[in-house]
Amino acid sequence: MAFKIGLLGLGTVGSGTVKILQDPAQRHPLLQELEIYKVGVRSLDKPRPVEIPDEKLTTDLESIVTDPEVDIVVEVIGGLEPARSLILKAIQHGKHVVTANKAAIARFGAEIYTAAEAAGVYVLLEAAVGGGIPVIEPLKQSLCANRIHSVTGIVNGTTNYILTRMKNEGGDFGDILADAQRLGYAEADPTADVDGLDAADKLAILASLAFGGRIKLEEVYCEGIRNVGAADIAYAERLGFVIKLLAIARREPQLSPDEPEQLQVRVHPTLVPKQHPLASVNDVYNAILIEGDPIGQVMFFGPGAGSGPTASAVVSDVLNIAAILKVERGNATKPDGQPLLDPLLACSHQHYCTIAPADETVTRFYARFLTNDSPGVIGSLGTCFGNHNVSLESVVQTDVRGDMAEIVVVTHDVREGNFRQALDEIRTYETVNEIASTFRVL
Ligand code: HSE
């Protein structure tokens, strides 16, 4: 019995998916039981990197998700609409869904998974985070015996490419972004990548799986890389760090068992110690470091995007569903007659995680100040930080910009609210011309 796939989208990921499905030799034998039944495209006339018989192509995507013959819908059109509506309609028609759509899942995951649970179908999304890197299934299955403490990832290839080049070449963000766009490493509209929004979508998904609750996307703190200057990269280097856009989700220490457990979920440029495993993840590569009890640290590394890698993740999800359908577990029912889903593969949590207010977050900070080059300035900064309970790990003054002194401080772990209050006070000092940048330190 062949499992019939309705593929929505024949772009980069869709074409990669077709290439794997059309060439099953030396791959898992179950691939031979998958049939590309229909392919939904925007235009029938476009030249394509893969050959699909004309009778399988259609521009009527809704006809695919409602077709009684289709077992599994693969949604790789991306974007919010019509992807969301097509996924929901597929679920209503009893189809299992495989999607690479992090933006739709991060925003409409609650609606989509509630519908999927009610319909007794799977919605799998390995390709939505980290491209070809297996991280979703490990979080759901291989690591499920662990209490996860933190997930820390480089989950956006475009920004990692830009930051790697800024470090290697000493260039400015704007120049390297323009070159990355020319070379096809950054989109014409780079907003989702460089402003951290793509990473925030992925983090919401990872955190939800790691901590077993839903995450409201608007509660994910998000800061992109536009403010990372060549000077910051150079100071970071001198201080023993590299700057990476990190997506971090971690449990806050629970002060009492009566308090609700809180999470930090944040995306921001971060000074990462050079010896940290994420510091050497360069160019367009992604990596996700998971810390749990009892496993300790485990890191997943690989290509975070691209046709083949992302299709590898898509097809593995399709095979997971086909395997379940093949042994007919998909037809099992609960005592009340509701369909029974594999609890390790389905996503059934319904409560929302509580996210800690940003001010309460405890982390180290880096700050770069442009000040008068006069006696007592460093002392006044140190006194102000001390008054706000911000302990300094290092203070350096090596460069002069114009007639301004450039002073860089790195703090010990501090409450973010205290650090911000100190900065508000420092901003009022006549000797301080500018707080040029502030970043968190891992
Ligand atoms: N825009 C994404 C990135 C592609 O740069 O990583 C994969 O989601």
Model pLDDT, residue 261:
87
How many Cβ atoms are within 10 Å of 112's Cβ, its own excluded? Answer: 22
CATH at 284: 3.30.360.10
Same domain? For 238 and 277 the reply is: yes
Same domain? For 107 and 154 the reply is: no
Same domain? For 313 and 378 the reply is: no
Model pLDDT, residue 344:
81
Contacts of 412 (CB under 8 A, 6+ apart): 364, 391, 392, 393
Average pLDDT estimate for 279-286:
97
Q: Which residue has the higher pLDDT, 286 or 336?
A: 286
- Specify the ligand 1 atom closest to the Cα of 310: 7
347: in domain: no
Q: Which residue has the higher pLDDT, 259 or 132?
A: 132
Residue 28 CA to ligand 1 center (angstroms) comes to 27
Same domain? For 298 and 387 the reply is: no
Same domain? For 156 and 105 the reply is: no
Model pLDDT, residue 90:
98
Q: Helix, strand, or coil here: 108?
A: helix
Residue 308 CA to ligand 1 center (angstroms) comes to 14
- Nearest residue to 75 (alpha-carbon basis) of 40, 113, 47, 107: 40
**pLDDT > 70: percent of the chain:** 98
Model pLDDT, residue 253:
79
Sign of the Cα torsion 426, 428, 431, 435 reads: positive
- Specify the ligand 1 atom closest to the Cα of 202: 8
Average pLDDT estimate for 252-262:
81
Give dist(CA 287, CA 300) in Å, integer.
5
Give dist(CA 119, CA 109) in Å, integer.
15
- Specify the ligand 1 atom closest to the Cα of 102: 8
Residue with CA at minimum distance from ligand 1 atom 8: 305
Residue 301 CA to ligand 1 center (angstroms) comes to 15
Residues with CB under 6 A from ligand 1: 131, 156-158, 193, 198, 304-305
Model pLDDT, residue 386:
97
Same domain? For 161 and 284 the reply is: yes
Most informative mutation of 125, 164, 193, 205 for ligand 1 (most atoms within 8 A of CB): 193
Amino acid at position 426, single letter: I
Q: Please give the model's pTM, rounded to 2 decimal places.
A: 0.94
340: in domain: no
Residue 155's pLDDT band (cuts 50, 70, 90): very high
CATH at 96: 3.40.50.720
- Residue 274, marked binder: no
DSSP code per residue over 375-399: TTHHHHHHHHHHHTT--EEEEEEEE
Residue with CA at minimum distance from ligand 1 atom 4: 305
Model pLDDT, residue 252:
87
Residue 198 CA to ligand 1 center (angstroms) comes to 7
- Residue 224, marked binder: no
- Specify the ligand 1 atom closest to the Cα of 305: 7
pLDDT 10s digits, 303-354: 999 999 999 999 999 999 999 998 875 566 777 777 678 888 887 778 999 9
Average pLDDT estimate for 272-286:
97
Residue 263's pLDDT band (cuts 50, 70, 90): very high
Q: 288-310: buried (b, 16+ CB within 10 Å) or exposed (e) per residue?
A: bbbbbeeeeeeebbbbbbbbbbb
CATH at 391: 3.30.70.260
Model pLDDT, residue 37:
98
356: in domain: no
- Residue 14, marked binder: yes
Q: Does 414 score more than 70 pLDDT?
A: yes
Same domain? For 162 and 280 the reply is: yes
82: in domain: yes
Same domain? For 146 and 244 the reply is: yes
Same domain? For 397 and 295 the reply is: no
- Specify the ligand 1 atom closest to the Cα of 192: 1
Model pLDDT, residue 7:
98
- Residue 11, marked binder: yes
Same domain? For 31 and 168 the reply is: no
Model pLDDT, residue 394:
94
Of 52-61, 66-75, 194-203, 346-355, where does mean pLDDT reach its minimum?
A: 346-355
Residue with CA at minimum distance from ligand 1 atom 7: 305
Residue 279 CA to ligand 1 center (angstroms) comes to 19
Residue 285 CA to ligand 1 center (angstroms) comes to 10
Model pLDDT, residue 400:
77
21: in domain: yes
How wide is the angle at C-alpha 399 spanned by C-alphas 394 and 405, nearest 5°? 85
Q: Which one of 38, 95, 202, 244 is the catalytic residue?
A: 202
Residue with CA at minimum distance from ligand 1 atom 1: 193
**pLDDT > 90: percent of the chain:** 86
380: in domain: yes
Most informative mutation of 105, 158, 161 for ligand 1 (most atoms within 8 A of CB): 158
Annotated catalytic, 56? no
Residue 223's pLDDT band (cuts 50, 70, 90): very high
Mean pLDDT in the chain?
Answer: 94
- Residue 7, marked binder: no
Residue 303 CA to ligand 1 center (angstroms) comes to 10
Domain count, the chain: 3
Q: Which residue has the higher pLDDT, 261 or 59?
A: 59
Model pLDDT, residue 330:
54
Most informative mutation of 125, 133, 160, 198 for ligand 1 (most atoms within 8 A of CB): 198
- Residue 9, marked binder: yes
Most informative mutation of 135, 156, 165 for ligand 1 (most atoms within 8 A of CB): 156
345: in domain: no
| Domain range enclosing 53 | 3-132+307-326
Residue with CA at minimum distance from ligand 1 atom 2: 156
- Residue 10, marked binder: yes
- Residue 392, marked binder: no
- DSSP single-letter state for residue 141: I
Q: Does 12 score more than 60 pLDDT?
A: yes
- Specify the ligand 1 atom closest to the Cα of 155: 6
Give dist(CA 36, CA 18) in Å, integer.
8
Same domain? For 281 and 315 the reply is: no
Residue 107 CA to ligand 1 center (angstroms) comes to 17
Model pLDDT, residue 332:
66
157: in domain: yes
Residue 179's pLDDT band (cuts 50, 70, 90): very high
Average pLDDT estimate for 202-230:
97
Model pLDDT, residue 167:
97
Same domain? For 171 and 258 the reply is: yes
